[in-house]
Amino acid sequence: MARARAVKALYAVLVTWLLTAPAPAPPAPAEAARAVGADRAAGADRGPSPGPAPSRPGGAEPALGAAPSPASVPAPTVTPVPRAPGVRGLEIAVPAYVWADDPVLADLSATGPAPSVVVLNPGNGDAPFDARWQARADALRTGTTATGERTKVLGYVHTDHGRRDPAAVRASVDNYLKPSGNGSGRLHVDGIFFDVVSRDCGPGNATRDHYAALRRYVQDTMHAADPDAAELVVDNPGTAIADCYLEPGHRTADVFVTFEDTYAAYTSGGWRGGNVFDPLGGYRAGTELDPSGTAFWHLVHDVPDAAAMRTTLRTAFERGAGYAYATSAVMPNPWNTAPEWKYALQTGYAATLG
């Protein structure tokens, strides 16, 4: 290769001397051409780059040669590995409060490893869960998580701290489990996400028992459609919940969202000190009520960057959460857009915990 270039160079000098004309500019070295091709190939593997981070005013690109931002670092490759019995881990569970055709859901469907749970929210839970939504749910449920399981899809239902009429709540549940036009009778979701849940037991445990009855309704309805269905019910009080909700024989959900607030609150005084509480003993981790290590889910928004996202996930694991999600999005609705980093960065990092 070097000898060939030398011959070409000598030939160019001779032509210049004979014709007294300027020699043409030499072509770019082959090595540089290969580097350009490799860079393009790497870009194709990574897919579309994320949007500009807040630290880049006006969307300016970083200087050439600068270190890549955490949001642009490719996610690690993760081989699905089933978790050994009794070994705690952390899984990513995403509230995706967008419409069926939103790119967020397409991104989640394409993410590998896939999130363990995605919550769908058609019109605050009351818009028809029609064929478009069913198709989107089916696509999400084909995802493979870091533990080799399929993504579970939940339908959103609001409860107004237990004050919403039980018949209306059941009708919202039926929207997902008995959707009109679903001639096959096949389930397209794996359970229900009850939002705006009370954290208190209520007089004589009446509030707790209300939510326990809703859980039984979900179980009975799903098993009527599919006797082998493994239903998943989530209660979201957004803060530590009274331990009566996890009492054996009266448990109201499989998973409880025991934190939903900002990164600043999560890493300072906003964390109350535990996932459960009782009026006499105060707050505690609640691990004795959670033998599977999957009972608690932490949702954190206003997370400033990918490094803080990793801090959030480590903290969630240390505080006893089995599920978590961190996003850079902010109020009034941090769940209707994607974070600045790719979902795979989060699912891949969570797979290293535990």
CATH of the domain at 108: 3.20.20
C-alpha 153/C-alpha 149 separation (Å) is 13
Domain membership flag for residue 45: no
Compute the distance between CA of residue 219 and CA of residue 227 in angstroms, rounded to an integer. 10
Domain assignment of residue 65, yes or no: no
Q: How many domains does the chain have?
A: 1
Reading the block at residue 116, the tokens are 């363990």
Chain position carrying tokens 């699912």: 347
By the 10 Å C-beta count (0-12 exposed, 13-18 middle, 19+ buried), 261 is classed as middle
In-domain check, residue 66: no
- From CA 343, how far away is CA 327, in angstroms rounded? 10
Residue 243 lies in a domain: yes
Q: How far apart are CA 156 and CA 249, in angstroms?
A: 25
Joined tokens for residue 300: 């954190």
Q: Could you list the pLDDT tens digit for every one of the 354 residues in the chain?
A: 434 334 334 433 333 343 344 444 433 333 333 333 333 333 333 333 333 333 322 333 333 333 444 444 555 566 777 777 667 899 999 999 999 999 999 999 999 999 999 999 999 999 999 999 999 999 999 999 999 999 999 999 999 999 999 999 999 999 999 977 665 679 999 999 999 999 999 999 999 999 999 999 999 999 999 999 999 999 999 999 999 999 999 999 999 999 999 999 999 989 999 999 998 889 999 999 998 899 999 999 999 999 999 999 999 999 999 999 999 999 999 999 999 999 999 999 999 998
Amino acid in position 227: P
Angle between helices 206-225 and 166-177 (to 10 degrees): 30
What is the 8-class DSSP label of residue 296?
A: E
Provide the whole-model pTM.
0.78
Position 16 in a domain: no
User: Which structural domain, as residue segments, surrounds residue 168?
Assistant: 89-350
Q: Are 90 and 316 in contact (CB under 8 A)?
A: yes
- 246 contacts 286 by C-beta, under 8 angstroms: yes
Structural domain contains residue 36: no
> 6 in a domain, yes or no?
no
Residue 67 falls inside a structural domain: no
